[in-house]
Structure 1
Amino acid sequence: MRQNPARRAALLDAAVTLLAERGSAALSYRNLDEAAALPVGTAANYFRTRADLLLEVTRHVLNRLGPDPQTLAAALKHPQPTRHAAVLQHLLDRMQRERDATLALLELRLLARRHPDLQDAFRTTVQDNLTLSRQFSETHGFTQGDDEFLMGYLLLSGFVFEELTLPGLLPPHLGTRLLRTLTAPPANQPG
């Protein structure tokens, strides 16, 4: 297995672009080599099987969509009533800015659904990411328990799905309004 980090990164970034633009059927070694502008046969030297490639691409996508440490630190400095909204706004902005990575993740989800041999590995990777997000949320007092966290997660996931697959369908700035509503204190609790 080859270990040139720059080539591996180029292959993974090319895989993200291929998934986002052309779907999982286009993710062949030959297309990947061409998209990464690398010699034919390079991708096969880095990923022994398609399953290995897909699992690495999944990890790469989740890493690209993860919070930027500096921006996250700045968001955590907001006063408590707006802190949760600031963190979620950063994540929403990142998913929209990393459009290819977000679309690639949707494509990977569909692929894992169709291929049970990939589903367990994909589920474990996404579950680990979800667990870290839940722990972060609870540590910072953003949500109270699994139900509240999962409702927010599903609400944002649905919004991002609509926004990326049918751009312009939803009103402008709906994401920001959605986050404010999601993070507003209950009516009987002071902000």
Structure 2
Amino acid sequence: MSKEGLIAAKELKRLQTQSVRLDRFIGSHVSRLLKSDLVSVLAEFQRQNQVFLCMKLYEVVRREIWYRPDMFFYRDMLMMLARNKKVDETKKVWEDLKKEEVLFDQHTFGDLVRGFLDNELPLEAMRLYGEMRESPDRPLSLPFRVILKGLVPYPELREKVKDDFLELFPGMIVYDPPEDICEDSDEEARTDSDLE
């Protein structure tokens, strides 16, 4: 990131609570950043989980003349939103992605679904899983295995995905964890908190 990018990032963070000044700064300075700087600032804010600023820069990037819809751009936004449990923003980004006809490959779908599951957003994860199933890409077993592992705390949802997996890959075996694996971790957490 260049010096201009660093200055812009610092100023954006400083102005994020002042919407009028923030919008003015975005219009006068951020929109003049080079492509690499703008994308770098967005990536840095994603790393820092600065959801509000990421959404602002997301809109700026999408308005740029050089912008082309990109699977990785959307994946990174969705993963950051999953980490921060931002369902409304996720829906907005997903709508934009659909309008721009961006297609994810099976591995990216698997990573996204797992990201939402790991961040305790099973409904969003299953919505993405539905999109994955409707994808024109040929199903692959690895993304299903990644999703199944993430679904261990959600046995009902796991059974549905497991049935789909066995239907698509009839010769494969699915590892089923012991029934009490989730209960054991809950008991350990309670025991640890009792000791404190």
Whether the TM-score (by the shorter chain) exceeds 0.5 is no
Larger radius of gyration: 2
Q: Select the structure with the greater relative contact order (CA < 8 A; seq sep ≥ 6).
A: 1
